[in-house]
């Protein structure tokens, strides 16, 4: 998922935003030939994600810097765990410090929260999915972090799966009853090679989506009892995804209903950042 060219483009944009015309403090205070070693350490428990991005930040500023990861992507790390070393010109390390940490803290936060949701599933064969509720421009990084936490990616964008949501159903219903069936047929006509997913608010919607032979049905904001009923109605004929109001505490009960997937927007739109620091050694 982490194409080097994509990482480089994202890191350059982030550095342009932060550095602008120059890191005036570092340029004023730090000798140009001084070399240092930076030690990246987590100050709290986390699932590590984003080390290749941190490396790319420093290499963008000093191509000769030496990077040594000390943890694996997706590894559970306790407080005080050294995640990586960077050795190079002090100006580059200081200038890139905040940008590298911002990426690492954000992505490790996503991976850590995802792991909590994955663990909450327990013995049930349910997969935790992310959503499109990502930071604009950072989707590929944030969805990568989800996978490092043990989750799986839902569609990457509007182009790789047909997803007929409530507003699409509203448009389809303007022609009268049977809007879901018409929408699914139209989608198959236009995009025959893509899966078609239908968002269902009620069990009547589920029944119509099943009749239309949708590949996946998203059970939106349904109760546990409604989801169990939907599982019985589908009887394995299509995949079922639970979504909406999915808290960490609720995951075990939702997983027990028999759905195939649980999608959680919170994985990427509201994970707490992990406290990670960088200490310089001369």
Q: d(Cα 126, Cα 124) in Å, to the nearest integer? A: 6
Residue 168 reports pLDDT greater than 90: no
Residue 158 reports pLDDT greater than 90: yes
Verify that 135 and 19 share a domain, yes or no. Answer: no
Report residue 152 as tokens.
């799986």
Report residue 59 as tokens.
């290499």
How long is the chain?
282
Verify that 126 and 226 share a domain, yes or no. Answer: yes
CATH code assigned at 246? 3.20.20.70
Verify that 181 and 225 share a domain, yes or no. Answer: yes
Phi, psi of 59 (to 5 degrees): -70, -30
Verify that 125 and 264 share a domain, yes or no. Answer: yes
Q: pLDDT-derived band of residue 31, with 50, 70 and 90 as boundaries?
A: very high
Verify that 81 and 139 share a domain, yes or no. Answer: no
> Residue 177 has what pLDDT?
78
> Residue 7 has what pLDDT?
96
**pLDDT tens profile 190-244:** 999 999 999 999 999 999 999 999 999 999 999 999 999 999 999 999 999 999 9
Residues 99, 57: contact at Cβ < 8 Å?
yes
Verify that 72 and 139 share a domain, yes or no. Answer: no
Residue 176 reports pLDDT greater than 80: no
Q: In percent, how much of the chain has pLDDT > 90?
A: 94
Q: pLDDT-derived band of residue 160, with 50, 70 and 90 as boundaries?
A: very high
**pLDDT tens profile 116-144:** 999 999 999 999 999 999 999 999 999 99
**pLDDT tens profile 46-99:** 999 999 999 999 999 999 999 999 999 999 999 999 999 999 999 999 999 999
> Residue 217 has what pLDDT?
98
Verify that 139 and 164 share a domain, yes or no. Answer: yes
* Dihedral angle sign, alpha carbons of residues 98, 100, 103, 105: negative
Residues 102, 14: contact at Cβ < 8 Å?
yes
Q: In whole numbers, what is the pLDDT of the chain averaged over residues?
A: 96
Q: Which residues contact residue 81 at a Cβ distance below 8 angstroms, ignoring those fewer than 6 apart?
A: 41, 42, 70, 71
So which residues are the catalytic ones?
98, 133, 165, 199, 220
Q: d(Cα 142, Cα 106) in Å, to the nearest integer? A: 8
**pLDDT tens profile 84-116:** 999 999 999 999 999 999 999 999 999 999 999
Residue 21 reports pLDDT greater than 90: yes
> Residue 273 has what pLDDT?
98
Residue 172 reports pLDDT greater than 80: no
pTM to 2 decimal places: 0.95
Verify that 265 and 275 share a domain, yes or no. Answer: no
Number of domains within the chain: 2
Q: d(Cα 39, Cα 18) in Å, to the nearest integer? A: 21
Verify that 163 and 247 share a domain, yes or no. Answer: yes
Q: pLDDT-derived band of residue 282, with 50, 70 and 90 as boundaries?
A: confident
Which residue range(s) make up the domain with 22? 4-118+271-281
Place of tokens 């480089």: 8
Residues 241, 262: contact at Cβ < 8 Å?
yes
Verify that 125 and 265 share a domain, yes or no. Answer: yes
Q: In percent, how much of the chain has pLDDT > 70?
A: 100
> Residue 170 has what pLDDT?
77
Verify that 58 and 138 share a domain, yes or no. Answer: no
Across 248-259, average pLDDT: 98
Verify that 176 and 244 share a domain, yes or no. Answer: yes
């Amino acid at each position: 998922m982490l194409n080097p060219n994509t990482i480089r483009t994202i890191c350059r944009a982030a550095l342009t935003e932060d550095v602008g015309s120059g890191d005036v403090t570092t340029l004023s205070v730090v000798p140009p030939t001084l070399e240092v070693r930076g030690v990246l350490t987590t100050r709290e428990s986390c699932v590590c994600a984003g080390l290749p991005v941190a490396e790319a930040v420093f290499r963008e500023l000093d191509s000769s810097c030496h990077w040594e990861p000390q943890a694996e992507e997706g590894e559970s790390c306790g407080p005080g765990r050294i995640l990586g070393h960077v050795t190079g010109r002090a100006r580059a390390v200081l200038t890139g410090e905040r940008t590298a940490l911002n990426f690492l803290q954000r992505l490790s936060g996503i991976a850590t929260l995802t792991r909590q949701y994955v663990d909450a599933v327990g013995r049930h064969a349910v997969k935790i999915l992310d959503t499109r509720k990502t930071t604009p421009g950072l989707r590929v990084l944030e969805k990568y972090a989800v996978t490092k936490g043990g989750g799986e990616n839902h569609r990457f964008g509007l182009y790789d799966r047909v997803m007929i949501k409530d507003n699409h159903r509203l448009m389809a219903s303007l022609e009268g009853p049977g809007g879901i069936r018409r929408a699914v047929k139209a989608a198959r006509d236009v995009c025959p090679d893509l899966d078609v997913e239908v968002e269902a608010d009620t069990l009547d919607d589920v029944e119509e989506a099943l009749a239309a032979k949708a590949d996946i049905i998203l059970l939106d904001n349904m109760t546990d009892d409604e989801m169990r009923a939907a599982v019985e109605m589908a009887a394995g004929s299509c995949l079922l995804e639970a979504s909406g109001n999915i808290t960490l505490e609720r995951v075990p009960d939702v997983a027990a209903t028999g759905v195939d997937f649980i999608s959680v927007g919170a994985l990427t739109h509201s994970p707490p950042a992990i406290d990670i620091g960088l200490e310089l050694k001369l």
